[in-house]
Structure 1
Amino acid sequence: MESMRRAWRAWLLNGLSVMMLACFAHAQRPSIEWVGGGEVSTYIGFYFQDDRYFVTSEGFYIHFWRLSDNKLVRTLTGRQLFGRFLYSASLAPMPNRQQLVVAYPDTDPDTGYRGIRIRILQPDANLYNWTTAAQGGSFVEDGTEEDEPGNAAALAISPDGQYIAVGGGDAAGFTRHGLVLYRINGNQIERVQYLTRDPGWAPIFAAAFSPDGEWLFAGSTGGWVFVYKRQPDGTYAYHQRFIIGGNGFFIQRFSFTYRPDGKYVAVGVMPNGIIEIRRYNPVFNDWRLYMQWQTPNNSAPTSAVNDLQFTPDGNYLAAAYGSSAFGVIFYDPYLRIYQIQYSSDPDYRAAIPVMQVEFPADVATVAAYNANATELISSTRNGELRRWNLETQEYTTLPNHRGRLN
C-alpha cells in the first residue's frame, strides 16, 4: 500500500510539474518570428507635435525626447496613459501629429465579449496630463465568422484622420486573426466593417493607408499582401492580393510615395531583407511589380526590414535592417538609405545605397524622417538613438535611458 501511495505521489508531482512547465512556457512564449531569428517591432519611433518631440517605445515604457535640446523629458507606462499594459497594443500618431492613437485587446464589461478598444489621446503642453479625445472599438462573441483580432499587431490611420484599421494574430495560431476598419465620428470610434481576405485565417502584421486614403494595404505571413480599395460609401473592398517570397516570409512594413510619374508603395519583408516597390497601373487597375532587391549582405539570409520610410518626394528610401538568433548571433544590423532611380525602362531602375551604418551586436529597428526630411532618427533594439544630419551624415546621440523617468 505504501509503495502505491509513493507511486501516486510521484505521478501527481510529475503531472503538476508538467502542467506548471507548460503554463510557464505558454506565458513566456516568444514570438514565433523571434524564435526563427527575426525581430518584430522591438522598438517603434516617430516624430510628434510638429517635430518638437520624438517618441519611442520598447513595449514597456513610452519615452518622449524633446528635440530642442535632445533631452528625455517624459516617460509613461501603458497603465498611466490608457490603463493597460503595452503588451499586445499598438501606438501611432494621428496624421496631425498632435495626438496619439492606441489600440489594444480588451473585454466588454457588459457582454464579456473580447475585442479591440481604441483611444485617441490628447496631451497637455507638458505631456503630463492626457485626456481621451475619442474612444470606441468592437467586441464580438468568440468563434463568430468575423472575429476580432486577439491583439493589435498592426495599426494604420488614414491621412484625413477619419479611419483606423487594426489587424492582429500570430503565425502559430495561438491568437485570433482579424482585420477591422473603424471610423472616427466625433468623440466616438465606430466599427465599419470586418475586412475579408484570402485565406481568411491569415494573421495581419502590418497595415498602411495610401496618401490619398484610396488604398489600404495589409501584410501577413506567407508573403501575402492584401490590397483594399475605398468605395463611394466609405467602406473598403478587397481588390488584389500579391505574394512576396512565399512560405516562411513575413510582411513587416509599408511606405507610400505619390510622385508626378505615378503612385508607388515599398514593402519590407523578412527574411532576406527584401524590399519590393510596386507601382499602380491605372489601365489595369492594379499594383504591379516595379523593382525588388534584398540586403546586400549575402551572409544575412534571415535579415528583416524592421522600418521603412520614403522622403516626401520619393527620391530616397530609408530602411532599418537586422535580426538576431536568441540575442547571440546578429544578422545584417544596418541602417541604409537608398536613392531611388525611377525609369520607364526596367533596365535603368535602381536602388542606390547612399548611406550605410552598421550597429554591431545589435538590430536597427527605427528609421524615421522628420516632416521635411532634413534629418532622420534611427534606433536599435538596445536603445541607441541617433539623430542624423542628412546633409553631413553626422549624428548626435540622444541619451540612452531604460526604465521610468517621471
Structure 2
Amino acid sequence: MDVQAARIATSPRGLALLESLPPYATIDPLSLGEQLRAQGAHPDVVSVALTQARLRSEGEAKFGPFAKGMVFTPAGLEQATRLVVAARHASRYRDAGIGRVADLTTGIGADAMAFAALGIGVLAFEKDEATALIADHNLRHWEDARVVHADSLATLASGAVDVDGVFADPARRTARGRRHDPRDYEPPLDEVLALRGRWSALGVKVGPGIPHDALPSSAAQAPVEAQWVSVDGDVVEAGIWCGPLAQHPGRTALVIRGDQAHLLTGSTEQAPTGELAERLLEPDGAVIRSGLIGELADRLGARLVDPAIAYLTTDAPVATPFASAFRIEEALPYSEKALAGALRARGIGSVEIKKRGMDIAPEQLRRRLRLRGDDAATVILTRVAGKRMALIARREESG
C-alpha cells in the first residue's frame, strides 16, 4: 500500500465511505464501485474503501468483530498476529510486571493493541510510512500507545527510549516469498536478540520452522523459552521469550482449540519405537515442531511407528488435546491396487488421506482409487518400521 492510499484509508471521507458499505460478502465490488463513482465519490476513495472492506472481511479470521474498527495493509494483515495469540503475548509482559514496551516492528499494530488493552504503555515503531499511518489509526483508542515512523534499532541504539521490555516480529516475507533463515529476517534475529544486554524482558515472534540450533540457549541467569503455537490445528508461530518472560524455560507447545488453550512442557528426548498397535496418534504440529513428541508419548504410554516418522501408536484409548486419534481397522503393505480393493470391500466411497514419509500426492491417489460406497474413512500412508504401509482407520474423539 502506498502512502496516499493509507492517508485516504484513515481520512474522515475514506472512513465514512467505508462505514457506509454493506458487508463485503454481499456486494459485487465492480458494480458497487461504478455506482459510487456515478454518485460523485472520488475514484481513489472508492478504490481504497472497497479494498478496506475486503481486508476487513478477511481480517475477521484473525481479529473477530474488532476487524470492523480497523484498517489494514494487505501485507500487514497477512503477517499480523491473531488476536487470541497477541493476547497471550501481552499477558506475558503483564505477568512479568512490564509497564512499558517497545514494539520494534509494529506493522498494523496487532500486538501493540493487545499490549495497550492490558494497560501496558506501547512505543510502536514502524519503518514503512504507509503502515505507520495504518497502525496509528488502529491504536487511536489508547492514550499510552504511540506510533513512531522510524527505524527501531537505530532509535534504540541512540539510548533515547524509556521502556522496560521489548517485543519484535521481524518481517519474514518478501515479494519473492518467505525468508526461512533467521539471518535474513528484517531486522535479523541476532540483532534483535543482542538487545538482551539492555532489556532482559525480550520477546521475538519467529517462523514456526525455525531450526532449534538457531534458538538462544537457556541458562539459570538468562532463561529462554521457545514456544510453538497452534490455533485450531494450524501452527501459526514460534516465540522466543527471554528473562522474566520465560515462564517455562526450554521448549514448549501451546495448543489453542476454540476458547481453550493447552500447554505441553517437558522432555525433548526421542520417543521409543514399537510395533503398530490398535490406534495411531497424529501429534499436533506445535508438539512436533517443539520436539516434545517424546514427552507426549511418555504421558500417553505410546511409541513411534518409525524412528523418523511423527506418528505414535498405542492400544489404549486416549483423551488429549495434543494429538488426533485414529482407530486402525486394517493395515496392509502399500499397494494402490490392494488399497482400492480393501476400501471397496468395506463400502468406503469417501476418504481423507493423510501421509508421512511417502512421496504420494493424496488428491491424485484419490482420483485413481475410483471409490464407490456410502461409508467414509481415513487412509493413512506412512512407514512403519521402515516399511511402506496403508492404514484404513476411523477418527476418534481425542479430547
Q: State the TM bucket, normalised to the shorter chain.
A: under 0.3
Normalising by structure 2, report the TM-score: 0.27
**Between structures 1 and 2, the one with greater helix share:** 2
Structure richer in strand, relative to its length: 1
TM-score by length of 1: 0.26
Higher Cα radius of gyration? 2
Where relative contact order (Cα < 8 A, 6+ residues apart) is larger, the structure is 1
